[in-house]
A and B are shown apart, each in its own frame.
Chain A
Amino acid sequence: MSDLKTSEKLIIEPTFTTPEIIFDPSANRFFIGGNSYPENSIKFYSPVLAWLEQFVQRHTPRPEPLVLEVKLEYFNTSTAKVLLDLFRHFEALYEKGQPVQIRWVFLEEDTEMEDAGLDYQAAVKVPFELVPVNEPEA
């Protein structure tokens, strides 16, 4: 991680308990999706946070917005804490002059997910959009 270039990707494949993570600066794709209830969230997310820290340090702002899409199904409370740390890095990018948008995607009737999104929206100082989506009942 010591020689990270801003064009380097971070890709983590999903498991039943951990999310898919795609941080691909060259494609302007930043995505976290699936389940996130690892046994130890700090351990799981440390490389992600380390990647972001270096990305923030080396990133030169550009006019097109950097969009992070978060589409989680189940996430535990330790993930909830780490997500806030993760969002703080996007906040740092925003403070550097990089247009940033966080999209919190949730199932339309899922008020718990909506509330979680509202909590983050209130806690971070970047444009934070709540995006309700319809999904089949099954």
Chain B
Amino acid sequence: MAVSYEHRLLFRHEGPLDMEVLPIMVRNLEKLLGEEGIRPPLRRKVVSSLIELAQNIIHYAVPHEKYPPLISVVRTEEGILLTTRNLVYYSQEIFLQSYLQNLLAMSREELEQFHRATLTSGSYSDSGGANLGLMQVILKADRVEYELTSAEAEYAWFTLKAFFSLEKP
């Protein structure tokens, strides 16, 4: 039976995520992408985006036993699709909505300028990143989409899809 490239799952993690699990995921994904023949520059884009998104989940996602975070990596004919999904509080939903809308409306040049300005501004978030993580993923990926959908009580699901084209290095 031929396996279609359309949705070939390379990697999937659904469960608790912490700094013990993340390095294992990084090594596994590096290896899997290498076995797929993905060249180092693209591999690094995907893996470094995974690190940013996973660390956002570790720092900001609602830890919920029933609804753990999900990370998946799918090989398509055109490239690699990295998806993360996690639970956030309603207050975070409002922030993410406006923050991502602003970032995604920017041209690449504007985004690069904003990134440089944030990097040199001297302000830090609790974990030290000053919200640069999502910006970095948008800069690295060829296409980013997100979705915020209602979950139970005061929560919402935050899904982010970052697509990396094989055509670019």
Q: Do A and B come from one complex?
A: yes
Cβ proximity bits A100-117 to B, threshold 8 Å, 1 near / 0 not: 000000010111110000
The answer to whether A81 touches B34, judged by C-beta atoms less than 8 angstroms apart, is no
Q: Is the interface of B mostly helix, strand, loop or mixed?
A: helix
Nearest A residue to B129, CB-CB = A78
Q: Are A39 and B41 in contact (CB under 8 A)?
A: no
A35 / chain B contacts, CB cutoff of 8 Å: 26
Interface residues of B (CB under 8 A from A): 19, 22-23, 26-27, 34, 39-41, 44-45, 47-48, 51-52, 55, 58-59, 115-116, 119-120, 124-125, 127-130, 132-133, 135-136, 140, 169
Binary per-residue interface labels of chain A (70-83) against chain B in the complex, 1 for a CB within 8 Å, 0 otherwise: 00011111111110
Q: Is A37 an interface residue (CB 8 A)?
A: yes
Category for how many chain A residues contact B: 20 to 34
Residues of B within 8 A of A16 (CB): 23, 26-27
Contacts of A40 in B (CB 8 A): 127-128
Let me know if B26 and A74 touch, CB within 8 A: yes
Chain A interface residues toward B at CB < 8 A: 16-17, 35, 37-42, 73-82, 84, 107, 109-113, 119, 122-123, 135, 137-138
User: What A residues does B120 contact at CB under 8 A?
Assistant: 84, 123
Tell which of A37, A42, A123 has the most Cβ of chain B within 10 Å: A37
A79–B41 Cα gap in the complex (Å)?
20
Structural contact, B41 and A74, CB atoms closer than 8 A: no
Return chain B residues, CB-CB under 8 Å to A37: 22, 51, 55
Contact in complex: B44, A119 (CB < 8 Å): no
Q: Is the CB of B124 within 8 A of A17?
A: no
Q: A109–B19 Cα gap in the complex (Å)?
A: 29
Identify 9 new A-B residue pairs, CB closer than 8 A, beyond the known A74-B47, A77-B136, A84-B119.
A16-B26, A37-B55, A76-B133, A78-B124, A80-B119, A81-B124, A112-B140, A113-B44, A123-B120
Q: Are B41 and A111 in contact (CB under 8 A)?
A: yes
Tell me which of B44, B130, B135 contacts A74 (CB under 8 A). B44
